[in-house]
Structure 1
Amino acid sequence: MDRIPSLGLLLSAESLCGRRTGVGNYTLHLWRNLSSLPDIGSIQLFAGLHRLTPPDSGGPVRRNAPVCGAPKAATPDDGAGAPFWRVLARQSRLADAAYRAAYRVRFRLAFERAGVPRDRACYHEPNMIPRPFGGVTVSTFQDLAWHRHPEVHPVERLRWIERHLPRALEQTRRIITTSAFTRHEIVSVLGVDPARIDVVPLGVDGRFHPRGPDETAPVLAQRSLSPGGYLLSVGTVEPRKNLGRLLRAYANLPSALAERFPLVVVGASGWLNSPELASMEALERAGRLRYLGYVDEAELPVLYAGARAFAYPSLYEGFGLPPLEAMASGTPVLCSAGTAMAEVVEGCGLQVDPLDEGAIAEALRVLLEDDGTAERLSALGMARAAGFTWERCARDTLTTYRKALGLTDGNA
């Protein structure tokens, strides 16, 4: 293929401004790996109309001054304290259309001043709903959990998606999704032409790899843990992660097994999670659980590598990065059947019905008691995870940009 001239990229990066979870990690690795590709001439990270200073070592980014007259932020729920014109835009369709048109102009001018070439510029929104923009837009749809499981999402978020999704689908020239499972969901639920959708799987960072006891023990000792002596679960504590059923299944394990392998839960507290927090507190009092909350990216790979097994019976996922990170770390995995995780794990872990607490408990027992099964799944998981790289994710994402800009025939 002839070399295609470099293009400019506008990459939305609100998810890098605080503690990073799934979308933030995706955005960070995408930025890092796209930056090394010769066909990318420039990348501008932004949040709203603020340009962002890229992180030097994986930490949060810094917001610079607005590049073009950015308005003040509005209150998320009722707009109290927001400028009059923004409140009006929420109450009137005509005013809303005028607001979005003005925002598109601001957006274009802002990044023209930042030096992004208009004829080869692509805006990528990693979190489904793009900002109003008059140029070429690519959006990543991580999943359709808000549609499949609306009961586990805050009402305000559902209303926001319902309001902005039609515009997002109209504005977005090409859609990226991270699994064939989610591609099928987008086609069947939203009626999107499958020819507009590219499946670009995520990658796994090289920090996630097997580590011996000599390497993990010093870090684990600070948490009163020992190598191979605990069961790990990682994810935001919110209903979709199905932590409640995992906790009940774990509580039904034989006492001696639970005492030998305490459950370690890693993840920030999310929303609608009072029952889960209460159950964790009870298990903590019994000495069977450690809730570590959000841990930094230096400690997380050690926790993965030091675990006897990893449990992730989420109700619904569009990909399933934590199981992939566990597999890359040499840790055998339990995950849910029937979602994108089955596509990612592909026979290299134990898959269960996430609604069946008995099945979850039995799979936990196998992973914690059966050394042969654990060793076999560990080897299979490492081999499977080796095929998922962020470099490949970036290259395939660049191909989508080219398609969106009309710089390829679509067969690249």
Structure 2
Amino acid sequence: MDVSPAIAMKVLFGADIVRYPLTGIGRYAYELGRRLPGAAGIERVRYLRGGSVLDGLPERPAIGRVQQNNAHLRRVVGSLPMFAEVYLRVEALAQKRALRDFNDYVFHGPNYYLPPHPGPCVATFHDLSMFSWPECHPAARVRRMQKELPKIMKRVQVLVTDSEFTRQEVAVYFNWPLRRIVVAPLAASSDYRPMDIIEVAPVLSRWELHFGRYSLFVSSLDPRKNIGMLLDVYERMPHALRLRMPLVVVGFEGWKSEDTIARLRAGERAGWARYLGFVDEASLPALYAGARVFLYPSRYEGFGLPVLEAMAAGTPVICSNAASLPEVAGVDGAVLIAVDDAEALYEALMRALEDDVWCAEARCRGLKRAAEFSWDKTVAATLIAYKLAGQ
């Protein structure tokens, strides 16, 4: 379905997720939200942040003490069900007042949630892990999402998903018609691109890393990311190779990650692992571009943006064939291994670390695949969802 430029739509875009740290969903909201005003067929875009309607999207967030304090406050409130419930009710009332005069706008909630909006609504569901992998989330978050999402399904006109896998999953779980679900794949920022040794040196030197001499994993460390198997595989490698090509892990500690952190720290003491924790967004492209290979054995993804970012950076990718990841990797953009197949991961990793010719070919294939994704395509698919919601 095409969206005609002659059809002028007004859009209200939820901007609460555009905040520090700008993780996957935050990046999606930021990239989409800032492109909507220039899209064909859009008459006006306004943004809901808290209880206020703004004329412009907040600037790309950077770290600051106030933002850190706010993030800490949100975590504390979220861990206390009674306070979280009160907070959500107060916020909903403020949003209801703010939106009462915007019933001619399509509201888009880019992070599941919908406020009390009188007009047509679109919501993006990135995955259903809170239903299919509840053990990978804090209990309070699971309770809230399992309570709120069925309510949202009663009020939303059209859903957006990042992948066909999630589209099918949502349709089955909620008994929702496929024709009312639009797939809008994500894209990598233009910051993710091949870089030479000189360009990445300032970032790599910060952690005493060497260009092309480390494997990389980027994600939170919750159980569905399957980093335990990755550590098992690394521990099997020849000792000299492990020391020459250490495993570098980037990301928040995640849920139930204590054992993983302990294993990483032991690997650090032995000289074959480096756990960097959270890394600022400005440094990530260089970390990707400087890696020998990117490893992502995840058991479940709604999209798998790190895989796309690695391909865009010209880094060979080895990932699982779980959920949406084959959609991102395409036919040959990455090496796909069966979920939980440690032997296949070991063999693929050894080839990546030892075969220069294979790596050069894998880089070319990944770059070609990554070029098929763009935020302009994401916007175009999203406009189809807006049009459907307004019908």
TM-score (norm 2): 0.89
1:153-174 CA-to-partner distances (Å, cap 9, x unmatched) read 2222221122112111111100
What is the CA distance between 1:58 and its match in structure 2? 4.7
Does residue 1:221 correspond to 2:208, yes or no?
Answer: no
Q: CA 1:124 to 1:57, structure 2 compared with 1: closer, same or farther past 3 Å?
A: closer
Q: Which residue of 2 aligns with 1:173?
A: 157
Match of 1:387 among 353, 358, 372: 372
State the SS of the aligned residue for 1:208.
coil
Q: Which residue of 1 aligns with 2:335?
A: 350
Alpha-carbon separation, structure 2, partners of 1:168 and 1:185: 16
Q: Which residue of 1 aligns with 2:27?
A: 25
1:321-353 CA-to-partner distances (Å, cap 9, x unmatched) read 101010011100011113211111022211112
State the SS of the aligned residue for 1:271.
coil
Q: Which residue of 1 aligns with 2:18?
A: 16
Alpha-carbon separation, structure 2, partners of 1:278 and 1:345: 31
Which is greater in Rg? 1
Amino acid at match of 2:31: H
Contact preservation (8 Å) 1:140, 1:176:
yes
Q: Which residue of 2 aligns with 1:67?
A: none
Bigger drift between 147-156 and 121-130 goes to 147-156
Contact preservation (8 Å) 1:34, 1:395:
no
What is the CA distance between 1:256 and its match in structure 2? 1.6
What is the CA distance between 1:147 and its match in structure 2? 2.2
Superposition map of 1:155-166 within 5 A = 155-166=139-150
Does residue 1:46 correspond to 2:48, yes or no?
Answer: yes
State the SS of the aligned residue for 1:46.
strand
Q: CA 1:227 to 1:148, structure 2 compared with 1: closer, same or farther past 3 Å?
A: same
Amino acid at match of 2:360: E
State the SS of the aligned residue for 1:45.
strand
Contact preservation (8 Å) 2:220, 2:252:
yes
Amino acid at match of 2:32: L
Q: Which residue of 2 aligns with 1:144?
A: 128
Contact preservation (8 Å) 1:354, 1:360:
no
Q: Which residue of 2 aligns with 1:94?
A: none
What is the CA distance between 1:357 and its match in structure 2? 2.1
Match of 2:324 among 328, 340, 351: 340
Alpha-carbon separation, structure 2, partners of 1:20 and 1:312: 20
Contact preservation (8 Å) 2:184, 2:382:
yes
Q: Which residue of 1 aligns with 2:187?
A: 203
Contact preservation (8 Å) 1:17, 1:60:
no
Q: Which residue of 1 aligns with 2:70?
A: none
Q: Which residue of 1 aligns with 2:253?
A: 269
Contact preservation (8 Å) 2:37, 2:45:
yes
Does residue 1:360 correspond to 2:345, yes or no?
Answer: yes
- In structure 2, runs of 5+ residues without a counterpart are 68-73
State the SS of the aligned residue for 2:38.
coil
What is the CA distance between 1:354 and its match in structure 2? 2.9
Q: Which residue of 1 aligns with 2:381?
A: 396
Contact preservation (8 Å) 1:103, 1:133:
no
Amino acid at match of 2:138: P
Amino acid at match of 2:185: P
Q: Which residue of 1 aligns with 2:168?
A: 184
Amino acid at match of 1:107: Q
Bigger drift between 374-383 and 353-362 goes to 353-362
Q: CA 1:333 to 1:404, structure 2 compared with 1: closer, same or farther past 3 Å?
A: same
Does residue 1:249 correspond to 2:205, yes or no?
Answer: no
Alpha-carbon separation, structure 2, partners of 1:141 and 1:79: 23
Q: Which residue of 1 aligns with 2:98?
A: 110
Q: CA 1:138 to 1:257, structure 2 compared with 1: closer, same or farther past 3 Å?
A: same
Alpha-carbon separation, structure 1, partners of 2:280 and 2:190: 16
Alpha-carbon separation, structure 2, partners of 1:282 and 1:288: 9
What is the CA distance between 1:279 and its match in structure 2? 0.7
State the SS of the aligned residue for 1:338.
coil
What is the CA distance between 1:107 and its match in structure 2? 3.2
1:241-292 CA-to-partner distances (Å, cap 9, x unmatched) read 1111111111111112111111111112222111111111100111111111
Q: CA 1:294 to 1:45, structure 2 compared with 1: closer, same or farther past 3 Å?
A: farther
TM-score (norm 1): 0.85
Q: Which residue of 1 aligns with 2:216?
A: 232
Q: Which residue of 1 aligns with 2:71?
A: none
Alpha-carbon separation, structure 1, partners of 2:200 and 2:128: 37
Alpha-carbon separation, structure 2, partners of 1:283 and 1:74: 32
Bigger drift between 35-44 and 333-342 goes to 35-44
State the SS of the aligned residue for 1:14.
coil
Amino acid at match of 2:257: N
What is the CA distance between 1:361 and its match in structure 2? 1.8
Fraction of identical pairs, as percent: 37
State the SS of the aligned residue for 2:17.
helix
Contact preservation (8 Å) 1:239, 1:272:
yes
Match of 1:76 among 72, 75, 78: 78
Q: CA 1:79 to 1:225, structure 2 compared with 1: closer, same or farther past 3 Å?
A: closer
Amino acid at match of 2:358: T
Amino acid at match of 1:239: P
Does residue 1:59 correspond to 2:62, yes or no?
Answer: yes
1:62-120 CA-to-partner distances (Å, cap 9, x unmatched) read 99xxxxxxxx999435555689xx49xx9xxxxxxxx79x947x53541456xxx532x
Contact preservation (8 Å) 1:16, 1:60:
no
Alpha-carbon separation, structure 2, partners of 1:42 and 1:269: 40
Amino acid at match of 1:12: G
